[in-house]
Amino acid sequence: MRLRSPYDREIFRYAIPALGALAAEPTYVLVDTAIVGHLGRSQLAALGVAATVLSVLSMFNFLQYGTTAQVSRATGAREHQTAARLGAQSLWLSLAAGIVLAALIAALAGPIVSLFGVEGKTAGYAVLYLRIAALGVPSAFVTIGGQGFLRGVSDLRTPLLIVIAGNVVNVVLEVLFVYGFGWGVAGSAWGTVIAQTLMGAGMTWAILRRVGHGNVALRPALARRLLTVGKFIFLRTIALMSSFILTGAVVARMGDGPLAAYQIAFQLWIFLALVLDSVAIAGQIIVGRELGGDRADAAYAASVRMIWLSVLLGTAFTVLLIVFSGVIPHVFTSDAEVLAQCALLWPIFALMQPLSGAVFALDGILIGASDGPFLAGSMAAAFAACTAVLAATVAGDWGVRGAWAAIAALIVVRLTLMGARFLRRRWLVTGFI
């Protein structure tokens, strides 16, 4: 790989602000945890239940990714009016999905919480939090869909500023409501709702200013276009989330030690994935635009560069994880059993990082190419491989090492299938399709 590439400047111009926006959701959760954690064990446990329920909404990122792919392709094809109208459709679809899900969460908060087996004060706090938080879901969805459009027109600065402002408002309001007004868990939820509402309003204003009033109307044909692309990304995301949920369920039956060790490694992997996913977002933008402009060779060359950059980042993570393998787990725990379980899974966790880098880059590239059917099918195959390893882990009593091997199998199968797809170049379909 060459030390420099003509695509480097553009890749980093997109990846760096994308990383800032990607870090917003974990920041929200960390702030909520830090503030609510001082209220008591029941309140913190309730927040954990509510956060788990709300995390399922991440499966609806297909609106964001599908919009980015289609808008960037339209922009590359100089179909600027169509790009603007697609942006408006993303708002309509995001708002509609957000309203429906908000109503379901509010109405079913009690039964949902009961599924987690919590009772008493914890259950009451969790239901209260969910019912209040539901009010912010439509705005949160508008923010997600709006980011997809702005990324498609290569504007990553605006969503970054909106997200940063929303996080600052969230911190100020939560401290005021929880400690100043003494509202407890409800204050935390209300702070988040107001911050999300302001972000949604800011994102709506930013998009309407760009698309113009003449392009705001709902256009069913274009809305269906986004849904057609998005449904495959939705299926891909369901298979991915199912892999994580199934693996977590298997580890939970191994005992507290293996579960704690798995949680440490998994959360670290998610954190590292934020950096790698920022390159994938650059891939969505650049590939979509180049293919829309009938520049297949440029799309391929830029993609090769992004894959190598992601692999290098992953390799750097591997080196750090191996060098500090005796230090990093101690940051999270001093329990001897948990540390012993970490030592079992750590080699697999560390060595898979370069593979993860390649997978994230390829995922973004193929999303940018609107190669949805393949992404859905390949993820289903990867889920099957993960499930098979988990079954062998249970049968053979492989412990937490086997569970993490299942995650590694998911990555390896995805890399094999997407890598073959990439090299065959069948995804290089040009024009505004």
pLDDT tens digits along 395-411:
999 998 999 999 999 99
Q: Across the chain, what does the average pLDDT equal?
A: 88
Taking residues 161-175, report their average pLDDT: 91
Per-residue pLDDT band for 116 (boundaries 50, 70, 90) equals: low
Is pLDDT at 9 greater than 80 in this prediction?
yes
Please tell me the predicted confidence (pLDDT) of residue 357: 94
Is pLDDT at 374 greater than 80 in this prediction?
yes
Q: Which residue shows structure tokens 């725990």? A: 333
Determine the Cα–Cα distance for residues 139 and 377; give it in Å rounded to an integer.
31
Name the residue among 30, 73, 35 with its Cα closest to residue 429.
73
Determine the Cα–Cα distance for residues 189 and 178; give it in Å rounded to an integer.
9
More confident residue, 154 or 256: 154
**Please, are residues 345 and 262 in contact by the beta-carbon 8 Å criterion?**
yes
Please tell me the predicted confidence (pLDDT) of residue 183: 92
- The pTM score is 0.85
Taking residues 76-92, report their average pLDDT: 91
Taking residues 228-248, report their average pLDDT: 86
Per-residue pLDDT band for 3 (boundaries 50, 70, 90) equals: low
Reported as type and span, the H/E element at residue 202 is: helix 185-211
Tens of pLDDT, residues 343-356: 999 999 999 999 99
Is pLDDT at 10 greater than 70 in this prediction?
yes
**Please, are residues 146 and 64 in contact by the beta-carbon 8 Å criterion?**
no
Q: Among residues of the chain, what percentage have pLDDT more than 70?
A: 96
From the number of C-beta atoms within 10 Å of its C-beta (0-12, 13-18, 19+), residue 325 rates as: middle
Contacts of 222 (CB under 8 A, 6+ apart): 82, 85, 86, 89
Tens of pLDDT, residues 264-304: 888 788 888 888 888 889 999 999 999 999 999 999 999 99
